[in-house]
Chain A
Amino acid sequence: GQNIDQPTEMTATEGAIVQINCTYQTSGFNGLFWYQQHAGEAPTFLSYNVLDGLEEKGRFSSFLSRSKGYSYLLLKELQMKDSASYLCAGLDSNYQLIWGAGTKLIIKP
């Protein structure tokens, strides 16, 4: 079956760094997405990885290891507005998004 696993909740301090891990099992693989979702709002695109390695985009970076079925999202210099759910989603062989349940990130001052 297809499955995306990520922690349910994480807490971090403003200004710090946090890493949100995701493991995936999909039927075929065409890449992995990270989305940010604030409560009651639509997911917004953060990153897309299809090759192994780290992609950096400002304060956010995303890493992929296809051999391990593993990805992480790294958030630096955390701000209060980063409090949100972070959704990991794999793209399967039919180009369908397989969603994780999301990691709720709580930022404390």
Chain B
Amino acid sequence: EPEVTQTPSHQVTQMGQEVILRCVPISNHLYFYWYRQILGQKVEFLVSFYNNEISEKSEIFDDQFSVERPDGSNFTLKIRSTKLEDSAMYFCASRLDLRGYTFGSGTRLTVV
């Protein structure tokens, strides 16, 4: 069964450093998402991406965040200057149609 692949599974970074979280969505999917989940809290929407541009973003997705689809297969989330409160699980998801939201296994980001 097709999967959404995320790397790395766990990243530890120092406060103020830049991090790039990588995702390979399912190849024929058209819509791509990043969500995050702070430990013990609900899943939060960050950004959606369609047709090579951001289609929607939340208040969380400020100027410190950016997304790219550099080569038609990867979908990356960059955090320019990490803060302690950015520590969370970051999930990438992709979909072709309404039913087909498929989530990656997540990247656990720890900012120290």
| A residues in contact (CB < 8 Å) with B | 30-31, 33, 40-45, 48, 50, 87, 89, 91, 94-102
| B residues in contact (CB < 8 Å) with A | 31, 35, 41-45, 48, 56, 89, 91, 98-99, 101-106, 108
Query: What total count of A-B pairs have CB within 8 Å?
Result: 45
Given known pairs A43-B43, A101-B41, A102-B42, the reply for A96 and B103 (CB within 8 Å) is: no
* B42 in contact with A30 (CB, 8 Å): no
Which residues from chain B contact A41 at a C-beta distance below 8 Å?
Answer: 105-106
Contact of A45 among B102, B104, B106 (CB under 8 A): B102
- A30 to B48 Cα, complex, angstroms: 17
Interface residues of chain A: helix, strand, loop or mixed (majority): loop
Interface residues of chain B: helix, strand, loop or mixed (majority): strand
Which residues from chain B contact A98 at a C-beta distance below 8 Å?
Answer: 45
Given known pairs A33-B101, A41-B106, the reply for A96 and B91 (CB within 8 Å) is: no
* A101 in contact with B101 (CB, 8 Å): no
* B106 in contact with A97 (CB, 8 Å): no
- A52 to B106 Cα, complex, angstroms: 33
Which residues from chain B contact A89 at a C-beta distance below 8 Å?
Answer: 43
* A94 in contact with B44 (CB, 8 Å): no
* A42 in contact with B44 (CB, 8 Å): no
- A71 to B91 Cα, complex, angstroms: 25
* A96 in contact with B45 (CB, 8 Å): yes
